Structure 1
């Protein structure tokens, strides 16, 4: 038994050292971005792109929030992939109330693209190339507008708060960043997701450190495509979103490629600017969010599996060890006591991190909101989910089936 414990300690101690080094950035991380109001020369600076596919039941809060943004937003372009549920009619109803809202359909999906980056690519091309349907095409009596300086990708399940675009734009320009994305405030409702979703979110904190802390290398950059602001000139140099065309984590793939090219990239706390209701219940959270959280499309094989090791050592192992200490007498040796004590410390850190991420959750509508505090019980499941996801590349997403056997 001591030999097994010694081996596990050899595997676990380096992971603990990595965790402490990442958490050390917590006290100096950038605080949450706050809403702002921009005036003057930033009017019409931002073009917003919202990719949609059968989003009629989630899109209304998103468009409501976007139409509440001030006039630094020039256009809100919804790129729809031929929805069949009334999404297009909903967008048209918003367009009648706010002329900035525009609906376009993306071109048929090429075989070497995934749906979301393809929709974003169509949105980029809308703003990049003047056409008869673009807001850049003017009547002979009106002067031509300059191209937008920034593109903001927003997912249909988000709920932008007033002042989102102004606050994000002001901070990005003040600090000289070229791509910035925000972590949202998550809306939870059902008991299963109150247990599972925070545990899955914690996998990102263990791997990348606190939101708002600087990345040490392009390979460790984190991003969130639910709200991602990027300079149009940067996308122009990169041929839009083509670098992420086959990625199921296209946001991270894009951000890491931007960072590799020498541009400044940041991932900030946007809990005061953006809410999101991602999935209904634990089953959908496990299936849909869990399939991309390994980030293997944006990572090397070594990065992916070193992250799996890290998660098992820090998140998957402590609870089973502590439960096992009550049943296995071999853990009562001096070496076993060190092992149990280390895992008790890791569990206490996990509980403290739960308090730290609590402001990133809106549980006002939740059934049994107190279950959030029991989410450490789901930590072994979160580590298992990332492991399973790392073993298999998705072939289906949002009702589309992809042939991912050949790399392109």
Structure 2
């Protein structure tokens, strides 16, 4: 029975390897100049402390002559707009807008993105949504637009390299890439028209303007916590195609600065990732069985004098670690010695998920001072 467990982990790790090595798109290192008009859209809410590196990287973009940058100050109270003005220093490529009050039935992020899309130049053929915690390489927009067009896709998620420093970061953040590389068949996702088979990350997301409008834009995801994934699904429902790319050479992202921010950031959205609580229970039980149980089982079996069980359990643990290593190396992440703690990472993910459902049931989920569930 333990060897069946090891075989299951082996199959998933093999899938991670194939996804990372064969199906994950790699943007070009030296893209040709982009000739079509492009609008970069940057929503900001209380981002004065960290928007400067993002803005400077946007101003330094190369190979996109028709680039325009649209910034929205979404009700900030920390002087974010003043920081933007100081950094931009009158650059004609940048326009700064003040957000309107949140409309009924809308969540904050989709509402801000909808305003940005409406403020973008109608001639812009590609919309590039960027979060304030993302810093782009000089060729990032050109390379990502080239990849979007080469893939024949309507929407492209160029997943950035996630920067980690604290123990909490190193336990939790690498799971983002690991989960979709391990469990999502990337090529099938691109080819399938099924909206349920979709993934996206909103940190650095590109969408063809015509396809965005056909999908209903952010109006179609106005009340969705995971508006990026739901936008990808809306694109599929409207007949468009989506794609994922390794954006680790194009962008870096420091998502959270403290443990409370990381905890609350994941808590606000994990319930939406899993959907019905029964589904969350089933998925978490499977993850714990495959990736957390093997190591303590190996130790217990060794102490009990059952070397066959101990060996099989140890192999299952090491195969799980190998999957984390493959994922990290494919997406510019840190793998040593973090991958060895993969069983603990899965436990922390389980706790955050339980916390997410618990707080949602009590209507206590919020983000940036706004309720989200």
TM-score band (shorter)?
0.7 to 0.9
Q: Alpha-carbon deviation of 1:258?
A: 1.1
Cα distance in 2 between the residues matched to 1:40 and 1:268: 18
- Deviation string 1:217-247 (CA, Å, 9 cap, x unpaired) is 4312110000110111122223321222111
Structure 1 runs not aligned, ≥5 long: 1-5, 128-135, 137-145, 364-368
Q: Tell me which of 174, 197, 204 is aligned to 2:150.
A: 174
Query: Hey, what does 1:57 align to over in structure 2?
Result: 49
Greater Cα shift, 314-323 or 262-271:
314-323
Q: Alpha-carbon deviation of 1:176?
A: 1.1
Query: Hey, what does 1:356 align to over in structure 2?
Result: 326
Q: Tell me which of 184, 207, 214 is aligned to 1:230.
A: 207
1:116-135 map, 5 Å: 116-127=109-120
- Measured on the aligned residues, the alpha-carbon RMSD in Å equals 3.1
SS of equivalent residue, structure 1 residue 185: strand
Q: Alpha-carbon deviation of 1:85?
A: 1.0
Kept after mapping to 1: 8 A contact 2:55/2:88? no
Q: Tell me which of 105, 112, 115 is aligned to 2:108.
A: 115
TM-score by length of 2: 0.85
Judged with a 3 Å threshold, the aligned counterparts in structure 2 of structure 1 residues 39 and 268 are, in CA distance, closer, same or farther, namely closer
Q: Tell me which of 353, 356, 359 is aligned to 1:389.
A: 356
SS of equivalent residue, structure 2 residue 141: helix
Q: Alpha-carbon deviation of 1:381?
A: 2.0
- Deviation string 1:146-194 (CA, Å, 9 cap, x unpaired) is 6211111100000111111110111211221110011111112223322
Query: What is the number of equivalent residue pairs in this alignment?
Result: 364
- 2:140 matched to 1:164? yes
1:270-289 map, 5 Å: 270-289=247-266
Query: Hey, what does 1:133 align to over in structure 2?
Result: none
- Structure 1: 4+ residue segments shifted above 6 A: none
SS of equivalent residue, structure 2 residue 156: strand
Greater Cα shift, 391-400 or 57-66:
391-400
- Deviation string 1:247-281 (CA, Å, 9 cap, x unpaired) is 11110111122123321100111000000011124
Cα distance in 1 between the residues matched to 2:34 and 2:13: 45
SS of equivalent residue, structure 1 residue 219: coil
Q: Tell me which of 191, 194, 202 is aligned to 2:170.
A: 194
TM-score by length of 1: 0.78
Kept after mapping to 1: 8 A contact 2:160/2:247? yes
Query: Hey, what does 1:91 align to over in structure 2?
Result: 84
- 2:56 matched to 1:28? no
SS of equivalent residue, structure 1 residue 315: helix
Query: Hey, what does 1:148 align to over in structure 2?
Result: 124
Judged with a 3 Å threshold, the aligned counterparts in structure 2 of structure 1 residues 89 and 59 are, in CA distance, closer, same or farther, namely same
Judged with a 3 Å threshold, the aligned counterparts in structure 2 of structure 1 residues 16 and 188 are, in CA distance, closer, same or farther, namely closer
Q: Tell me which of 295, 300, 310 is aligned to 1:324.
A: 300
Judged with a 3 Å threshold, the aligned counterparts in structure 2 of structure 1 residues 17 and 40 are, in CA distance, closer, same or farther, namely closer
Kept after mapping to 2: 8 A contact 1:247/1:253? yes
Cα distance in 2 between the residues matched to 1:90 and 1:250: 27
Q: Tell me which of 341, 353, 358 is aligned to 1:375.
A: 341
- Deviation string 1:43-80 (CA, Å, 9 cap, x unpaired) is xx211111110001111111111111133453211111
Q: Alpha-carbon deviation of 1:18?
A: 6.5
Structure 2 runs not aligned, ≥5 long: none
Kept after mapping to 2: 8 A contact 1:295/1:304? no
Cα distance in 2 between the residues matched to 1:55 and 1:249: 20
